[in-house]
Amino acid sequence: MIKVAPPSSPKKILVADDDRALRSMLTSMLERAGFSVTGAADGAEALAHIKHRKFDLVLLDVWMPNMTGLEVLARVKDKPGRPKVIVMTGDNTPETLLNAVREQAYQYVNKPFSAKGVVEMVERALASEAGPPIEVLSARPEWIELLVPCEREAAERIQDFLLQAKSDLPQEVREAVGQAFRELLLNAIEWGGDLDPNQKVRISCLRTRRMVLYRIADPGRGFKFEGLTHAATSNPPDSPIDHLRVRDEKGLRPGGFGILLTRAVVDELLYNEAQNEVAFVKYLDGGPKS
C-alpha cells in the first residue's frame, strides 16, 4: 500500500502595523500567496500573539503605539524558536536600521513598497536557514562597525541595511560604494572565511563631510596578487578574460572581476601587508585636498 504524505500546513505569518489599510492589504496579499496570516494593530498586541502562538515570520512596523517594533524585537530576541522578523518602516536613519540589526531583525523593507517585492522577500526569508546573528559593535551614524558571519546570505542582508543607512548620499556615490562593498565583502567571506558561518568578517564604515571609508577584515591568512590566477587582476594585457578558464577548471562560480571593478568605481583601494584586510575610500567632494 502506497502511503501519501500529508500536505504541509501553511507557514504562519504575523503582520504588525498600526496602519489599518496597509495591514489589511498585506494580510490579503499573503493569504492569496498561501500563507496563514494574523494581524496586530500595535506592538503590545504583536508581542501577545508571539508569546502565545508560534509564527514562522513577523512583518513588523517600527513606530507603533503602546510598544514600538524595536521594543518588540528586544523582548523576543532571546525567545527559543523565535520567528524571523522583517522590519517595515519609512524611517531609514542609521540609528533605527542598526538598532533593528542589533535586535536581530532578519531584513528591512522601506515603505512604500511593492506587493510583489514583499511576497518575494517573505518567500526568501522562509526558505533560508537561520545562521549566526550579525553583531553590531558601533551604531553611530559616523562610525558603523559590524561582525558578519561568513555566509553569502548574511552578506546580502547587511548590504541592504547599509545601503539604506547611506540613503542621503548622491545616487552615483551610493551605487559605487554599494558595488565595491559587495565585491570586497563576498571576497572576504568566500576566500578569507571559507564560507564558514562560525567565522566572522569585521566591517567598519566611517563617514565624514568629505568622504566615506569602508574597512573589511577577514579571518583568513591573506593572499598574494601574483597567486590569483582565478581573478582578472592576473590576466596578461593581451588576454583579458584568461582567468575564466582557470575558474572553470577549478569549478568556481563565474566572476573574478571584483577587484578590477572596485578599483574602477572607488577613489582609493588599500590592502594591509597580509592582504586579509582592505579599505576603500569614496570622496564626496571630488577628491582629496592638500
Give this prediction's pTM.
Answer: 0.78
Give SS3 for 264. Answer: helix
Secondary structure element (H or E) that encloses residue 181, with its range: helix 171-187
Assess contact for 229 and 246: CB atoms under 8 A.
yes
Rounded to the nearest angstrom, the gap between the alpha carbon of residue 147 and the centroid of all alpha carbons in its chain is: 12
**What integer pLDDT is reported at residue 4 of this predicted model?**
45
Show the cell assigned to 255.
566572476
**Taking the CB of residue 33, how many other CB atoms lie within 10 A of it?**
17
Question: Position 272: which residue type?
Answer: N
Q: Convert the pLDDT of each residue in 88-144 to its tens digit.
A: 988 878 888 888 888 989 988 888 888 788 899 999 999 988 778 899 999 888 999
Give the residue extent of every domain in the chain: 7-130, 131-290
Residues contacting residue 270 through CB under 8 Å, at least 6 positions apart: 278, 279, 280
Within its chain, how far is the Cα of 50 from the centroid?
24
Please tell me the distance from the alpha carbon of residue 77 to that of residue 104, in angstroms, as a whole number. Answer: 7
Q: How confident is the model at residue 64 (pLDDT cuts 50, 70, 90)?
A: very high
What is the C-alpha to C-alpha distance for residues 56 and 86, in angstroms, rounded to an integer? 11
Percent of the chain with pLDDT over 70: 83
Question: Residue 279 pLDDT more than 90?
Answer: yes
CATH architecture of 131-290: 2-Layer Sandwich (3.30)
Angle between helices 171-187 and 152-165 (to 10 degrees): 160
Three-state secondary-structure class, residue 86: strand
Is the Cβ–Cβ distance between 73 and 46 less than 8 Å?
no
Instruction: Name the residue type at position 151.
Output: E
Looking at domain 7-130, its CATH class is alpha beta
